[in-house]
Chain A
């Protein structure tokens, strides 16, 4: 269950972004999570509200864009999305592939509401050190 610490890191980052916009609240956040990132999207969804309570992201909707692994074949050069967890080339079937995508754990974008900022929103509980 490392998703809680990942959710806390996410909330910390959202608190920083909200602070940069004069105490805005975060209404929506979109993540990109690779299937090889080691993070379970559902566990992250479950952990997020606990991490976000009493922060500018407390009411944020969480969108998760799940990115499948992409491999590049060392033999034929083709890029393909294999049936995970295996990584044979989708073109020639060779096992000589390298993973080129699918490890992402990235905040793609955030939507902030400035005029409607909540007066009692507190700074992120897990500030950057």
Chain B
């Protein structure tokens, strides 16, 4: 322990700190306490985003897509809430009508890309390995390969995770949150970082409602409290219920 300030550091650990008091350092092999001259401590105002690198890449992506008239949806939800199934049916319905492209992210495998291929839209799979979210740089690397051929709508299917992807801007036009009816009505209140930043929420797997205690009104109440004014779709990609409104909305986005 430091005998002067009691901070618990040993002289073997090089350490500069001030514990809110006088700045000092512990130098191995040297005197235990070395107080640097006060003019050597410089306080820099930074006021820069902690994700500045990601934000810069996201801004580049946004500019690239805006120049090409591409609307990009960053689709975020828990794993298994139906992102890929919704995209399968969406691509089928938009095929020949609106040119789409897809970037899909998972920690491992290209299963989702395989499911989405052959539906009229170029698809790229990003494997994030240990990362729990897509980042703007990886997405930017994919853009020229997937969306530079007249695409009007780009679907970015994020890694299944209700928490982390919300913090990373990818350069999308906006975020879309998915919430399946098996997950519980109060998820918007439990995960406000995502639901408060997504202007659109899609409630999925509506065909399962007869087997559950799901109450849409309760879910909409939580969503409204968490994000007043959020746009909500309720659908079942499997049966097609509610899909017309979703498809019309996407067609409207593509102008």
Please give the residue numbers on chain A whose beta carbons come within 8 Å of chain B beta carbons, in ascending order. Answer: 1-2, 5-6, 9-10, 12-13, 17, 21, 24-25, 27-28, 31, 36-39, 58-61, 74, 84-88, 95-99, 103, 105-116, 118, 120, 128-129
Known contacts A85-B192, A87-B228, A95-B225; A37 and B167 CB within 8 A of each other: yes
Known contacts A6-B51, A85-B226, A107-B47; A112 and B42 CB within 8 A of each other: yes
Known contacts A9-B54, A113-B36, A128-B53; A36 and B197 CB within 8 A of each other: yes
Beyond A86-B225, A107-B50, 7 additional contacts (C-beta under 8 Å) are A1-B164, A13-B48, A25-B16, A85-B189, A85-B190, A87-B228, A106-B49
Closest to B227 in A: A87
Question: With a CB–CB cut-off of 8 A, which chain A residues contact B41?
Answer: 27, 111-113
Please give the residue numbers on chain B whose beta carbons come within 8 Å of chain A beta carbons, in ascending order. Answer: 14-19, 23, 25, 34, 36-37, 39-54, 131-133, 135, 137, 163-164, 166-168, 189-190, 192-194, 196-197, 224-229
State in angstroms the CA–CA spacing of A37 and B133 once bound together.
15
Question: With a CB–CB cut-off of 8 A, which chain B residues contact A31?
Answer: 50
Question: With a CB–CB cut-off of 8 A, which chain B residues contact A87?
Answer: 196, 225-228
State in angstroms the CA–CA spacing of A111 and B163 once bound together.
31
Question: Can you list 21 A-B contacts with CB-CB less than 8 angstroms, sorted by A residue number?
Answer: A5-B135, A10-B50, A12-B53, A17-B46, A25-B16, A61-B17, A85-B190, A85-B192, A95-B224, A103-B197, A105-B51, A106-B46, A106-B47, A107-B47, A112-B43, A113-B23, A113-B36, A114-B40, A115-B37, A116-B25, A128-B53
Question: With a CB–CB cut-off of 8 A, which chain B residues contact A110?
Answer: 43-44, 46
State in angstroms the CA–CA spacing of A62 and B192 once bound together.
26
Q: Is the CB of A116 within 8 A of B189?
A: no
Q: Is the CB of A13 within 8 A of B50?
A: yes
Closest to A102 in B: B196
Interface centre among B53, B131, B137 (most CB of A within 10 A): B53
Q: Is the CB of A109 within 8 A of B167?
A: no
State in angstroms the CA–CA spacing of A112 and B44 once bound together.
8
Nearest chain A CB to B103 CB, angstrom units? 19
4 closest Cβ contacts across the A-B interface? A115-B40, A85-B192, A38-B167, A2-B164
Among A5, A17, A59, A118, the residue within 8 A (CB) of B44 is A17
Q: Is the CB of A2 within 8 A of B132?
A: yes
State in angstroms the CA–CA spacing of A87 and B44 once bound together.
35
Closest to A21 in B: B42
Known contacts A2-B167, A2-B168, A28-B17; A107 and B46 CB within 8 A of each other: yes
Closest to A110 in B: B44
State in angstroms the CA–CA spacing of A116 and B37 once bound together.
8
Question: With a CB–CB cut-off of 8 A, which chain A residues contact B196?
Answer: 36, 85, 87, 99
